[in-house]
Amino acid sequence: MADRGDRRDMSVIRAEALRKTFGGGAVVAVDDADFTVREGEFISLVGPSGCGKSTLLRMVAGLLDRSAGTLSIHGRDVTGPNPAVAMMFQKPTLLDWRTAIENVLLPSEIGGRVTDDDRRKAMGLLRLAGLEDFAFSFPSQLSGGMQQRVALARLLQTGADILLLDEPFGALDEFTREHLNVELMRIVGEVGATTLFVTHNIGEAIFLADRVFVMTPRPGRIAGIVEVPFERPRRPSLQQSAEFNALVSKVRATFETETTAGEDA
Ligand SMILES: Nc1ncnc2c1ncn2[C@@H]1O[C@H](COP(=O)(O)OP(=O)(O)OP(=O)(O)O)[C@@H](O)[C@H]1O
């Protein structure tokens, strides 16, 4: 089996001149996006509201058709949803009348009969998410952060190796969010998933990622790609370091250069 270093050389998502317009071309949500994502890589997509982050993610998920350009996953043209890809949103979308483990088992149920292996896997994922003792609790008995961890376990139960996370902790308070970010890094690192994570927050984007795609609006473009050199595991205190703050400034400068260029045009 290839080690993590080898796997990182293989691209699993590839986009060239990717474009999405709405309203017959009146709104250019994503313009001329060129990028590759390597296996096991964690990419943050950061940018202000309306710069096309969710649109880009939905195209990768196969939920939205592209208007132009190419987009492939594992070397295959994206023409619709793909079992290798799973997406998670800001709201947990758990079923209130089902326990945590019954929620995690949903993808297996949709796929057919639930086997003992499926149950073992679901319990293992709840353990990985730190929720072993809450497997038989209902969503109303869990905090917002715990509900999102159940949703993450359910995402992994699908067997997808590409995770698309659209501000998954955006509705939570800052303390819970920081804790869950550390947990998320640990969990996706352990399962070796390739991850695209959308956020408005520059610090969060850098803290989590191997590379940050910086998006700017009107039209939505990837204005720059910033490499994050910090070793893993990472601790929240990293965010106080001078090196970390230098990267925050670099991302900010990418926004400012683009915005000023747009105003000058
Ligand atoms: N279905 C749609 N029909 C028309 N316009 C749309 C549609 N979806 C998105 N847009 C427009 O495309 C642009 C990009 O939207 P998108 O939701 O991708 O941005 P975003 O960066 O994810 O924003 P936010 O951070 O607020 O979620 C916006 O101008 C938005 O109004």
CATH number at residue 28: 3.40.50.300
pTM, two decimals, is 0.91
Give the mutation target among 21, 53, 196 for probing the ligand 1 site: most ligand atoms within 8 A of CB: 53
Same domain, 72 and 53: yes
Going by pLDDT thresholds of 50, 70 and 90, the confidence category of residue 261 is low
Q: Which amino acid is at 227?
A: E
Asked whether 111 and 93 are in contact (CB, 8 A), the reply is no
Tell me which residues have their CB closer than 6 angstroms to ligand 1. Answer: 22-23, 27, 29, 47, 49-55, 200, 220
Rounded to an integer, the average pLDDT of 194-222 is: 94
Residue 265 binned pLDDT confidence (cut-offs 50, 70, 90): very low
Q: Are residues 175 and 207 in the same domain?
A: yes
If asked whether residues 143 and 210 sit together in one domain, one would say: no
Q: Is residue 174 part of a domain?
A: yes
Does residue 188 fall inside a structural domain? no
- Nearest ligand 1 atom, CA 47: 21
On whether both 171 and 67 belong to a single domain, the answer is yes
Q: 108: closest CA among 88, 87, 123? A: 123
- Residue 259: predicted pLDDT: 64
Pair (126, 171) in one structural domain: no
Residue nearest to atom 30 of ligand 1 (CA): 50
Report CA(130)–ligand 1 centroid distance (Å): 34
- Number of domains composing the chain: 2
Q: Find the radius of gyration of the CA atoms of the chain.
A: 19
Whether 2 is covered by a domain: the verdict is yes
Residue 187 resides in a domain: no
* Distance between Cα 53 and ligand 1 center (Å): 8
Q: Rounded to whole angstroms, how far apart are CA atoms 111 and 118? A: 11
* Average pLDDT, rounded, for the chain: 91
Evaluate if residue 218 carries a pLDDT over 90: no
Asked, for residue 146, whether it belongs to a domain, the answer is yes
* Buried/exposed code over 79-94 (b: 16+ C-beta within 10 A; e: otherwise): eeebeebbbbbeebeb
Lowest mean pLDDT among 15-19, 74-78, 172-176: 172-176
22-61 pLDDT per residue, tens? 999 999 999 999 999 999 999 999 999 999 999 999 999 9
Q: Is residue 249 part of a domain?
A: yes
Same domain, residue pair 112 and 235: no
Query: In this structure, are 169 and 228 located in the same domain?
Result: yes
Does 79 lie in the same domain as 15?
yes
How far is 102 from 134, CA to CA, in rounded Å?
12
- Give dist(CA 162, CA 144) in Å, integer: 24
What range does the domain containing 154 cover? Answer: 93-159
Q: Are residues 168 and 72 in the same domain?
A: yes
Residue 14 lies in a domain: yes
DSSP summary character for residue 237: G
Based on the fold, state whether residues 134 and 166 are members of the same structural domain.
no
CA distance 73 to 68: 16
pLDDT tens-digit map of 148-163: 999 999 999 999 999 9
Q: Which two structure tokens, joined as six digits, stand for 234?
A: 């990472």
Does residue 185 form part of some domain?
no
Q: What is the pLDDT of residue 262?
A: 52
Q: How far is the CA of 184 from the centre of ligand 1 (A)?
A: 26
**Cα–Cα–Cα angle for 90, 252, 18, nearest 5°?**
60
Q: Are 17 and 108 members of one domain?
A: no
Round to whole Å and give the CA distance between 91 and 190: 24
Nearest CA to ligand 1 atom 28: 50
Same domain, 10 and 117: no
For 106-144, how does the pLDDT look when each residue is reduced to its tens digit (9 = 90+)? 999 987 889 999 999 999 999 999 999 999 999 999 999
